[in-house]
Amino acid sequence: MSEVVTLGEAMACLRADGPINLGGGAHISVAGAEANVAIGLARLGHGVSFAGAVGPDRLGDLVRRTLRAEGVAVGALRTDPAPTGIVVFEQRMTGVTRVDYHRRASAGGTLSAGDVESAFALHPSPPRVLHVTGVTPALGPGPAQAVQAAVRLARSAGARVCLDVNHRARLWSESTARRTLTALAVQADIVVASEEELPLTGAGGGEAELVAGLLAAGVSEVVVKRGAAGASVVTTRETLHLPARPVTAVDPIGAGDAFVAGYLSGVLDGLPAAARLARGVTTGAFAVACHGDWEGLPTRSELDMLDLPDGSAVR
Protein backbone atom coordinates (compact mmCIF):
# COMPACT_ATOMS: atom_id res chain seq x y z
CA MET A 1 0.00 0.00 0.00
CA SER A 2 1.28 3.45 -0.90
CA GLU A 3 1.00 6.09 1.76
CA VAL A 4 2.27 8.65 -0.74
CA VAL A 5 1.75 9.13 -4.47
CA THR A 6 3.98 11.49 -6.38
CA LEU A 7 4.42 12.25 -10.06
CA GLY A 8 6.88 14.01 -12.26
CA GLU A 9 9.95 13.76 -14.44
CA ALA A 10 12.55 11.16 -13.52
CA MET A 11 15.72 11.56 -15.57
CA ALA A 12 19.08 9.98 -16.06
CA CYS A 13 21.82 12.00 -14.41
CA LEU A 14 25.44 12.44 -15.43
CA ARG A 15 27.76 13.81 -12.77
CA ALA A 16 31.02 14.95 -14.31
CA ASP A 17 34.27 14.20 -12.49
CA GLY A 18 35.65 17.62 -13.47
CA PRO A 19 35.10 20.51 -15.87
CA ILE A 20 33.06 19.16 -18.77
CA ASN A 21 34.89 21.18 -21.42
CA LEU A 22 38.09 19.33 -20.51
CA GLY A 23 36.55 15.90 -21.03
CA GLY A 24 36.96 13.08 -18.57
CA GLY A 25 34.66 10.71 -16.75
CA ALA A 26 31.17 10.97 -15.33
CA HIS A 27 29.02 8.97 -12.94
CA ILE A 28 25.60 7.84 -14.23
CA SER A 29 22.67 7.96 -11.82
CA VAL A 30 19.04 9.12 -11.57
CA ALA A 31 17.59 12.52 -10.70
CA GLY A 32 14.29 14.40 -10.53
CA ALA A 33 12.70 16.34 -7.67
CA GLU A 34 9.75 14.03 -7.10
CA ALA A 35 11.85 10.90 -7.56
CA ASN A 36 14.27 12.20 -4.93
CA VAL A 37 11.42 12.69 -2.46
CA ALA A 38 10.01 9.25 -3.26
CA ILE A 39 13.37 7.59 -2.56
CA GLY A 40 13.81 9.60 0.64
CA LEU A 41 10.40 8.53 1.93
CA ALA A 42 10.95 4.90 0.96
CA ARG A 43 14.26 4.81 2.84
CA LEU A 44 12.41 6.08 5.89
CA GLY A 45 10.03 3.14 5.67
CA HIS A 46 7.02 4.65 3.90
CA GLY A 47 5.12 3.15 0.97
CA VAL A 48 5.53 5.41 -2.07
CA SER A 49 4.28 5.18 -5.65
CA PHE A 50 5.80 7.19 -8.51
CA ALA A 51 3.89 8.11 -11.69
CA GLY A 52 5.80 9.25 -14.74
CA ALA A 53 7.23 8.22 -18.10
CA VAL A 54 10.65 7.12 -19.32
CA GLY A 55 11.94 6.15 -22.74
CA PRO A 56 12.42 2.66 -24.24
CA ASP A 57 16.15 2.93 -23.68
CA ARG A 58 18.84 1.86 -21.24
CA LEU A 59 18.55 5.12 -19.34
CA GLY A 60 14.85 4.48 -18.84
CA ASP A 61 15.74 1.01 -17.59
CA LEU A 62 18.14 2.64 -15.12
CA VAL A 63 15.44 4.95 -13.78
CA ARG A 64 12.94 2.13 -13.37
CA ARG A 65 15.49 -0.22 -11.80
CA THR A 66 16.78 2.43 -9.38
CA LEU A 67 13.33 3.41 -8.12
CA ARG A 68 12.31 -0.21 -7.75
CA ALA A 69 15.54 -1.08 -5.94
CA GLU A 70 14.94 1.79 -3.51
CA GLY A 71 11.49 0.46 -2.66
CA VAL A 72 9.42 2.88 -4.74
CA ALA A 73 6.42 1.34 -6.53
CA VAL A 74 6.74 1.85 -10.29
CA GLY A 75 3.50 0.34 -11.57
CA ALA A 76 2.52 3.81 -12.82
CA LEU A 77 5.89 4.51 -14.49
CA ARG A 78 5.04 4.26 -18.20
CA THR A 79 7.43 3.57 -21.07
CA ASP A 80 6.98 6.12 -23.84
CA PRO A 81 8.45 6.12 -27.38
CA ALA A 82 10.28 9.38 -26.58
CA PRO A 83 13.78 9.14 -25.08
CA THR A 84 14.55 9.47 -21.38
CA GLY A 85 15.66 12.96 -20.42
CA ILE A 86 19.17 13.66 -19.15
CA VAL A 87 20.50 16.17 -16.64
CA VAL A 88 24.23 16.92 -16.38
CA PHE A 89 25.85 18.19 -13.18
CA GLU A 90 29.24 19.86 -13.15
CA GLN A 91 30.53 20.78 -9.71
CA ARG A 92 32.62 23.75 -10.73
CA MET A 93 33.86 24.30 -7.17
CA THR A 94 32.73 23.27 -3.71
CA GLY A 95 29.23 24.59 -3.21
CA VAL A 96 28.78 25.75 -6.83
CA THR A 97 27.24 23.37 -9.37
CA ARG A 98 26.34 23.93 -13.01
CA VAL A 99 23.18 22.10 -14.13
CA ASP A 100 22.45 21.45 -17.81
CA TYR A 101 19.15 19.81 -18.83
CA HIS A 102 18.54 17.78 -22.00
CA ARG A 103 14.79 17.25 -21.75
CA ARG A 104 13.27 18.71 -24.93
CA ALA A 105 10.89 16.15 -26.52
CA SER A 106 11.77 13.63 -23.80
CA ALA A 107 9.48 11.07 -22.21
CA GLY A 108 9.01 13.02 -18.98
CA GLY A 109 7.18 15.76 -20.85
CA THR A 110 4.53 13.31 -22.10
CA LEU A 111 3.01 12.84 -18.62
CA SER A 112 -0.76 13.31 -18.83
CA ALA A 113 -3.91 13.26 -16.74
CA GLY A 114 -4.51 9.69 -17.95
CA ASP A 115 -1.26 8.59 -16.32
CA VAL A 116 -2.39 10.01 -13.01
CA GLU A 117 -5.82 8.40 -13.24
CA SER A 118 -4.12 5.06 -13.93
CA ALA A 119 -1.80 5.57 -10.96
CA PHE A 120 -4.70 6.17 -8.56
CA ALA A 121 -6.61 3.22 -10.04
CA LEU A 122 -3.73 0.90 -9.12
CA HIS A 123 -4.43 1.39 -5.41
CA PRO A 124 -7.44 -0.21 -3.70
CA SER A 125 -7.47 2.65 -1.19
CA PRO A 126 -6.36 6.26 -1.63
CA PRO A 127 -2.95 7.47 -0.49
CA ARG A 128 -2.63 9.57 2.63
CA VAL A 129 -0.53 12.22 0.85
CA LEU A 130 -0.12 13.43 -2.72
CA HIS A 131 3.19 15.22 -3.32
CA VAL A 132 3.59 17.54 -6.31
CA THR A 133 6.11 20.21 -7.26
CA GLY A 134 6.25 23.28 -9.44
CA VAL A 135 8.67 21.53 -11.79
CA THR A 136 6.10 19.26 -13.42
CA PRO A 137 3.49 21.85 -14.54
CA ALA A 138 6.34 23.89 -16.04
CA LEU A 139 7.15 21.04 -18.47
CA GLY A 140 4.14 21.67 -20.69
CA PRO A 141 0.34 21.44 -20.98
CA GLY A 142 0.17 17.65 -20.51
CA PRO A 143 2.21 17.57 -17.30
CA ALA A 144 0.31 20.62 -16.00
CA GLN A 145 -2.98 18.81 -16.58
CA ALA A 146 -1.52 15.74 -14.85
CA VAL A 147 -0.77 17.76 -11.72
CA GLN A 148 -4.23 19.33 -11.74
CA ALA A 149 -5.85 15.90 -12.15
CA ALA A 150 -3.75 14.48 -9.32
CA VAL A 151 -4.75 17.28 -6.97
CA ARG A 152 -8.41 16.86 -7.90
CA LEU A 153 -8.32 13.10 -7.33
CA ALA A 154 -6.42 13.46 -4.05
CA ARG A 155 -8.80 16.03 -2.66
CA SER A 156 -11.86 13.99 -3.65
CA ALA A 157 -10.31 10.95 -1.91
CA GLY A 158 -9.52 12.87 1.28
CA ALA A 159 -5.73 12.72 0.83
CA ARG A 160 -3.54 15.61 1.95
CA VAL A 161 -1.85 17.56 -0.83
CA CYS A 162 1.75 18.78 -0.46
CA LEU A 163 3.06 21.34 -2.95
CA ASP A 164 6.78 22.09 -3.08
CA VAL A 165 7.03 25.25 -5.21
CA ASN A 166 10.49 24.24 -6.50
CA HIS A 167 10.53 27.02 -9.12
CA ARG A 168 12.60 26.54 -12.29
CA ALA A 169 12.88 29.97 -13.90
CA ARG A 170 14.32 28.57 -17.15
CA LEU A 171 11.20 26.49 -17.82
CA TRP A 172 8.53 29.19 -17.85
CA SER A 173 7.91 32.90 -17.40
CA GLU A 174 7.47 34.34 -13.93
CA SER A 175 3.93 35.50 -14.72
CA THR A 176 2.87 32.00 -15.87
CA ALA A 177 4.60 30.42 -12.89
CA ARG A 178 2.90 32.79 -10.46
CA ARG A 179 -0.54 32.19 -11.97
CA THR A 180 -0.17 28.39 -11.97
CA LEU A 181 1.52 28.05 -8.59
CA THR A 182 -0.88 30.42 -6.84
CA ALA A 183 -3.80 28.33 -8.09
CA LEU A 184 -2.12 25.12 -6.92
CA ALA A 185 -1.07 26.52 -3.56
CA VAL A 186 -4.59 27.35 -2.41
CA GLN A 187 -5.62 23.74 -3.12
CA ALA A 188 -2.79 22.32 -1.02
CA ASP A 189 -2.76 21.36 2.65
CA ILE A 190 1.02 21.82 2.93
CA VAL A 191 2.92 24.44 0.93
CA VAL A 192 6.72 24.28 0.92
CA ALA A 193 8.78 27.10 -0.57
CA SER A 194 12.09 28.83 -0.21
CA GLU A 195 12.09 32.48 0.83
CA GLU A 196 12.63 33.45 -2.83
CA GLU A 197 9.84 31.17 -4.08
CA LEU A 198 7.15 32.18 -1.60
CA PRO A 199 6.06 35.29 -3.60
CA LEU A 200 4.99 32.94 -6.43
CA THR A 201 2.21 31.57 -4.21
CA GLY A 202 0.24 34.79 -3.66
CA ALA A 203 -0.78 38.21 -4.85
CA GLY A 204 1.97 40.15 -3.15
CA GLY A 205 3.29 41.52 0.11
CA GLY A 206 6.03 40.35 2.42
CA GLU A 207 6.54 36.89 3.85
CA ALA A 208 4.12 37.38 6.73
CA GLU A 209 1.36 38.63 4.43
CA LEU A 210 1.91 35.80 1.93
CA VAL A 211 1.83 33.15 4.64
CA ALA A 212 -1.28 34.69 6.21
CA GLY A 213 -2.98 34.68 2.81
CA LEU A 214 -2.25 30.99 2.27
CA LEU A 215 -3.52 30.05 5.73
CA ALA A 216 -6.67 32.10 5.18
CA ALA A 217 -7.22 30.24 1.88
CA GLY A 218 -7.27 26.91 3.73
CA VAL A 219 -3.63 25.79 3.66
CA SER A 220 -2.96 24.07 7.00
CA GLU A 221 0.80 24.64 7.15
CA VAL A 222 3.32 26.75 5.27
CA VAL A 223 6.92 25.55 5.40
CA VAL A 224 9.72 27.94 4.43
CA LYS A 225 13.10 26.49 3.49
CA ARG A 226 15.91 28.86 4.45
CA GLY A 227 18.97 26.92 3.26
CA ALA A 228 21.88 27.18 5.67
CA ALA A 229 19.62 29.11 8.08
CA GLY A 230 17.29 26.13 8.55
CA ALA A 231 13.53 26.10 8.05
CA SER A 232 10.30 27.45 9.51
CA VAL A 233 6.72 26.22 9.68
CA VAL A 234 3.66 28.39 10.24
CA THR A 235 0.18 27.11 11.06
CA THR A 236 -2.88 28.89 12.41
CA ARG A 237 -1.74 27.87 15.91
CA GLU A 238 2.01 28.31 15.93
CA THR A 239 5.16 29.55 14.24
CA LEU A 240 8.35 27.53 14.67
CA HIS A 241 11.90 27.77 13.36
CA LEU A 242 14.82 25.35 13.50
CA PRO A 243 18.38 26.06 12.38
CA ALA A 244 20.11 23.77 9.92
CA ARG A 245 22.11 20.84 11.27
CA PRO A 246 25.85 21.65 11.20
CA VAL A 247 27.61 19.44 8.65
CA THR A 248 30.48 19.84 6.23
CA ALA A 249 28.76 20.78 2.97
CA VAL A 250 29.84 18.62 0.04
CA ASP A 251 27.02 18.93 -2.50
CA PRO A 252 23.94 21.17 -2.05
CA ILE A 253 21.93 19.64 -4.92
CA GLY A 254 18.92 17.71 -3.65
CA ALA A 255 18.92 19.20 -0.16
CA GLY A 256 15.48 20.73 -0.61
CA ASP A 257 13.99 17.44 -1.79
CA ALA A 258 15.63 15.64 1.12
CA PHE A 259 14.12 18.15 3.53
CA VAL A 260 10.65 17.59 2.06
CA ALA A 261 11.05 13.81 2.38
CA GLY A 262 11.94 14.16 6.04
CA TYR A 263 9.17 16.64 6.74
CA LEU A 264 6.51 14.49 5.04
CA SER A 265 7.80 11.46 6.92
CA GLY A 266 7.08 13.36 10.11
CA VAL A 267 3.60 14.21 8.84
CA LEU A 268 2.90 10.55 8.06
CA ASP A 269 4.17 9.53 11.50
CA GLY A 270 1.86 12.06 13.18
CA LEU A 271 4.74 14.03 14.73
CA PRO A 272 4.21 17.54 16.08
CA ALA A 273 5.44 20.47 14.01
CA ALA A 274 8.76 20.82 15.82
CA ALA A 275 9.59 17.15 15.29
CA ARG A 276 8.56 17.34 11.63
CA LEU A 277 10.95 20.25 11.14
CA ALA A 278 13.69 18.40 13.01
CA ARG A 279 13.38 15.38 10.74
CA GLY A 280 13.36 17.63 7.68
CA VAL A 281 16.52 19.53 8.58
CA THR A 282 18.17 16.22 9.48
CA THR A 283 17.47 14.58 6.12
CA GLY A 284 18.48 17.81 4.39
CA ALA A 285 21.81 17.73 6.22
CA PHE A 286 22.44 14.15 5.08
CA ALA A 287 21.94 15.26 1.48
CA VAL A 288 24.31 18.22 1.79
CA ALA A 289 26.99 16.09 3.41
CA CYS A 290 27.10 13.55 0.55
CA HIS A 291 27.50 13.63 -3.23
CA GLY A 292 24.35 13.03 -5.26
CA ASP A 293 20.71 14.10 -5.13
CA TRP A 294 19.52 11.12 -3.08
CA GLU A 295 22.38 8.68 -2.66
CA GLY A 296 23.26 9.83 0.87
CA LEU A 297 19.70 9.99 2.23
CA PRO A 298 19.27 8.16 5.55
CA THR A 299 17.24 5.16 6.54
CA ARG A 300 15.13 5.49 9.66
CA SER A 301 17.78 3.74 11.75
CA GLU A 302 20.40 6.28 10.60
CA LEU A 303 18.55 9.47 11.56
CA ASP A 304 20.50 9.79 14.82
CA MET A 305 23.92 9.48 13.17
CA LEU A 306 24.40 13.25 12.98
CA ASP A 307 24.43 13.30 16.77
CA LEU A 308 27.56 11.12 16.90
CA PRO A 309 30.91 12.81 17.54
CA ASP A 310 33.47 13.13 14.76
CA GLY A 311 35.53 9.98 14.36
CA SER A 312 32.75 7.65 15.52
CA ALA A 313 32.67 4.14 14.12
CA VAL A 314 29.24 2.52 13.89
CA ARG A 315 29.78 -1.20 14.45
Question: Global pTM?
Answer: 0.94
Cα of first residue to Cα of last residue in the chain, in angstroms, is 33
Q: Left (φ > 0), alpha (ψ -120 to 50) or beta: where does 8 sit?
A: left
Q: Is residue 305 part of a domain?
A: no
Q: Is residue 92 part of a domain?
A: no
Predicted confidence pLDDT, tens digits, the chain (315 residues): 689 999 999 999 999 988 888 888 999 999 999 999 999 999 999 999 999 999 999 999 999 999 999 999 999 999 999 999 999 998 877 667 888 999 999 999 999 999 999 889 888 888 999 999 999 999 999 999 999 999 999 999 999 999 999 999 999 999 999 999 999 999 999 999 999 999 999 877 899 999 999 999 999 999 999 988 999 999 999 999 999 998 888 878 889 999 999 999 999 999 999 999 999 999 999 998 888 889 999 999 999 988 888 777 777
Q: What is the pLDDT of residue 1?
A: 66
CA angle centred on 72, ends 69 and 74, rounded to 5°: 95
Domain count, the chain: 1
Q: Is residue 27 part of a domain?
A: no
Q: Is residue 89 part of a domain?
A: no
Q: Is residue 308 part of a domain?
A: no
Q: Is residue 150 part of a domain?
A: yes
Q: Which of 257, 269, 293, 304 is catalytic?
A: 257
Q: Is residue 163 part of a domain?
A: yes
Q: What is the pLDDT of residue 292?
A: 85
164 catalytic? Reply is: no
Q: Is residue 162 part of a domain?
A: yes
Torsion sign (Cα): 6, 37, 214, 170 = negative
Is the Cβ–Cβ distance between 180 and 213 less than 8 Å?
no
Domain that holds residue 238: 4-8+33-83+106-300
- Identify the CATH number of the domain in which residue 258 sits: 3.40.1190.20
